[in-house]
């Protein structure tokens, strides 16, 4: 197909799908019918425990991993007490809460939004980009207007408490371009990976990004290959921490490629962390962590510094929190 007619086709298809809004996507039919495996879900940080519970409601009822990873992280996105994801997230330095999210499924379909404002569930908009358009990523105003066209719920940000913190931060940080700090205790981004009863793997990732970032800054979280990557033949991985460092090595894709070479998910995450360390002269304060799941349902995680953990739920294990091994001490 010639380039121009391809675009005509794509835009026409995208436009038609928007004009026929499906308010909520129907639950997805499972692929690979007949294949049996034990569902497993893992998510970054302790907020993953609650998110996994929501994902498990889908996975435990023979639902698809795609539905599970969307439903799971929606819990975190709407948690008003979470300062690094969704509606309760911290703003950029000008006071705008801009959100990033992406999703990828077992067919290597993917969708993402970046720098979207005032929409309650960026992850669902990312899924709509994947399912209703020919594109992978929409950003800023374009992403927001697509979300509004699709009928997604809006929200007002920053919430009161966050606005108060931001005002204090502004007073204490008069230097306009002083580097904002990601500290190790910051409970960042939720990344979630799930394998369903049919053995299909999907993942999601959603964040408000680096607190008090420069306006327009986008981290790794909505970037397929950096914040999240799935290859259903091999496994999936997602990332948390300083997005700039994760993007440099296409982190989540790198983890999946290490699993393809035969490494256990934990070893694959460790090798990616070591690559990040090798690409930086100074990793002082540079925290990054990965989690991964392979085709057989084995899981693992690893981080540059201690303090990173991830939550897991499967039919054999009640909800648990696992401390990821790390490379360096504080």
Q: Which of 72, 158, 243, 265 binds ligand SD4 (CB under 6 A)?
A: 243
Q: Is 157 in the site for ligand SD4 (CB under 6 A)?
A: no
N-term to C-term CA, the chain:
55
CB of 317 to ligand SD4, least distance (A): 25
Q: Which of 28, 157, 202, 221 binds ligand SD4 (CB under 6 A)?
A: 221
User: 236-264: string of b/e by CB count within 10 Å (b at 16+)?
Assistant: bbbbbbbbebbbebbbbbbbbbbbeeebe
Q: Which of 199, 219, 235, 251 binds ligand SD4 (CB under 6 A)?
A: 219
Residue 98 bears catalytic tag: no
Q: Is 240 in the site for ligand SD4 (CB under 6 A)?
A: yes
Q: Is 64 in the site for ligand SD4 (CB under 6 A)?
A: no
Q: Is 189 in the site for ligand SD4 (CB under 6 A)?
A: yes
Residues 6+ apart with CB under 8 A from 324: 269, 289, 291, 301, 302, 303, 308, 309, 310
The 3-state DSSP class for residue 118 equals: coil
Q: Is 88 in the site for ligand SD4 (CB under 6 A)?
A: no
| Residue (210 or 305) nearer to ligand SD4, CB | 210
User: 156-173: string of b/e by CB count within 10 Å (b at 16+)?
Assistant: ebbbeebeebbeebeeee
User: Would you tell me how many other CB atoms lie within 10 Å of the CB of residue 137?
Assistant: 21
CB of 244 to ligand SD4, least distance (A): 7
d(CA 178, CA 209): 17
The catalytically annotated residue of 44, 133, 157, 189 is: 189
Q: Which residues bind ligand SD4 (CB under 6 A)?
A: 182, 186, 188-189, 207, 209-210, 219-221, 240-243
- Which residues are known to be catalytic? 189
């Amino acid at each position: 197909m010639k380039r121009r007619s391809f675009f005509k086709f794509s835009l026409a298809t995208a436009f038609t799908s928007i004009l026929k809004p499906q308010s909520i996507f129907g639950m997805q039919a499972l692929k690979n019918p007949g294949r049996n495996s034990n569902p497993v879900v893992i998510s970054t940080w302790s907020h993953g425990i609650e998110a996994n519970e929501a994902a498990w409601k889908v996975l435990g009822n023979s639902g698809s991993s795609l539905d599970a990873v969307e439903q799971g992280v929606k819990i975190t996105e709407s948690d008003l007490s979470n300062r690094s994801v969704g509606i309760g997230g911290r703003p950029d330095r000008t006071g705008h809460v801009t959100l990033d999210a992406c999703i990828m499924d077992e067919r290597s379909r993917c969708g993402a939004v970046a720098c979207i404002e005032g929409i309650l569930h960026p992850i669902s908009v990312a899924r709509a980009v994947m399912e209703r358009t020919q594109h992978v990523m929409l950003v800023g105003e374009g992403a927001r207007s697509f979300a509004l066209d699709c009928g997604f719920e809006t929200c007002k940000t920053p919430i009161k408490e966050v606005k108060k913190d931001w005002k204090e931060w502004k007073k204490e940080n008069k230097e306009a371009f002083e580097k904002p700090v990601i500290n190790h205790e910051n409970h960042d981004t939720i990344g979630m990976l799930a394998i369903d009863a049919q053995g299909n793997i999907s993942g999601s990732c959603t964040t408000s990004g680096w607190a008090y970032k420069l306006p327009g800054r986008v981290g790794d979280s909505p970037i397929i290959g950096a914040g999240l990557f799935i290859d259903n033949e091999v496994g999936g991985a997602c990332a948390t921490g300083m997005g700039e460092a994760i993007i440099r090595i296409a982190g989540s894709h790198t983890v999946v490629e290490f699993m393809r070479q035969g490494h256990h998910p934990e070893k694959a995450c460790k090798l990616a962390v070591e690559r990040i360390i090798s690409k930086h002269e100074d990793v002082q304060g540079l925290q990054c962590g990965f989690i991964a799941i392979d085709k057989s349902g084995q899981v693992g995680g690893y981080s540059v510094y201690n303090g990173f953990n991830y939550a897991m739920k499967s039919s054999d294990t009640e909800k648990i929190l696992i401390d990821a091994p790390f490379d360096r001490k504080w």
